[in-house]
Amino acid sequence: MYGRLPIVKMLAATVALAAAISAVMLSINWDGQEASTAAPKIDDLLNVMIVVSALVFSLVIVMLFYALWKFKAKPGDESDGEPIHGNTRLEVAWTLIPTIIVLFGGGYSWKVLNEIEKPAKNAITVDVFSQQYAWSFGYPGKDMAWSEGELHVPVNRQVQFKMHAQDVIHSFWVPEWRIKKDNVPGITTTAIVTPDKVGTYQLICTELCGFGHASMRAKVVVESPPKFREWVADLKQQVPQPLADSITQDTESNPVPLDAGGA
Ligand SMILES: [Cu+2]
């Protein structure tokens, strides 16, 4: 037989390799500036998963290289390998450990999602209209003011974006907020964000939506509440009728039976 594996040494090598990989990976600022209350929570989640992945990767690499070194065939040895049948302890371990890791990742993500999507009492609603290849926005108020290509929101207040795609699937993404949400024709999707840093950002369409997809962007301005109110009050246009209709005509809030008219 092969004798006992040097478990302690292998574990030490695994931890050392994982620490080295984590140190490099965590030193990189993957997502850039954080500008919403969700951003630090999402970044922490990513960092934890990076460390967990580094541990799994290191364990596999250490075992692989140990096996390559220890069990290498001698020159001229053409014989078959030893026939090996199941190892219950090993099988229990390689089922149980991944299960625990996946459940941990799922539970942690669930917790983060719950926290960042918790509706606030003083939230404002902004309607988002996406079409090939432009964004426009409707603001709350009697006449529903409308802006094209430029989104303004107040700082430190939750915004609930109600999204209405007019043609194909688009996706709403402001990298500094970390939130990304698909806009799907026929249904209203919601993204909840609390921007917490004044500044100018970019809204990017992140679902390949056609020829002009790469240029489907809008300017995002996060500003103080008085400035925001002033800006909305100065808007001259109202949401055009076809866009206003798309708010109420989605099949999610107004389900239409499948056999209702049509071909
Ligand atoms: Cu698009």
One digit per residue, the tens of pLDDT, for the chain of length 263 reads 456 778 899 999 999 999 999 999 999 988 899 999 999 999 999 999 999 999 999 999 999 999 999 888 888 888 888 888 888 998 999 899 999 999 999 999 999 999 999 999 999 999 999 999 999 999 988 778 999 999 999 999 999 999 999 999 999 999 999 999 999 998 899 999 999 999 999 999 999 999 999 999 999 999 999 999 999 999 999 999 889 888 887 766 655 555 555 44
Longest dimension (CA), the chain: 87
pTM: 0.83
Residue 76 Cα to ligand 1 midpoint, Å, equals 62
Residue 213 Cα to ligand 1 midpoint, Å, equals 5
Both tokens of 233, joined, read 């009050």
Q: Compute the radius of gyration of the chain from its Cα atoms.
A: 27
Both tokens of 232, joined, read 């909305």
Residue 153 Cα to ligand 1 midpoint, Å, equals 21
Residue 173 Cα to ligand 1 midpoint, Å, equals 10
Residue 170 Cα to ligand 1 midpoint, Å, equals 4
Residue 244 Cα to ligand 1 midpoint, Å, equals 19
Sheet holding 159-165, edge to edge: 146-148, 134-138, 124-131, 159-165, 189-193
Residue 172 Cα to ligand 1 midpoint, Å, equals 8
Both tokens of 26, joined, read 């965590």
Q: How far apart are CA 93 and CA 98, in angstroms?
A: 9
Both tokens of 159, joined, read 């915004």
Q: What are phi and psi of 132, to 5 degrees?
A: -65, 110
Residue 157 Cα to ligand 1 midpoint, Å, equals 26
Taking a C-beta distance cutoff of 8 angstroms, is the pair 173, 205 a contact? yes
Residue 214 Cα to ligand 1 midpoint, Å, equals 8
Residue 215 Cα to ligand 1 midpoint, Å, equals 9
Residue 96 Cα to ligand 1 midpoint, Å, equals 42
**89-110 in b/e burial notation, b at 16+ Cβ within 10 A?**
eeeeeeeeeeeeeeeeeeeeee
Return the ∠ at Cα 65 (arms to 61 and 71), rounded to 5°: 140
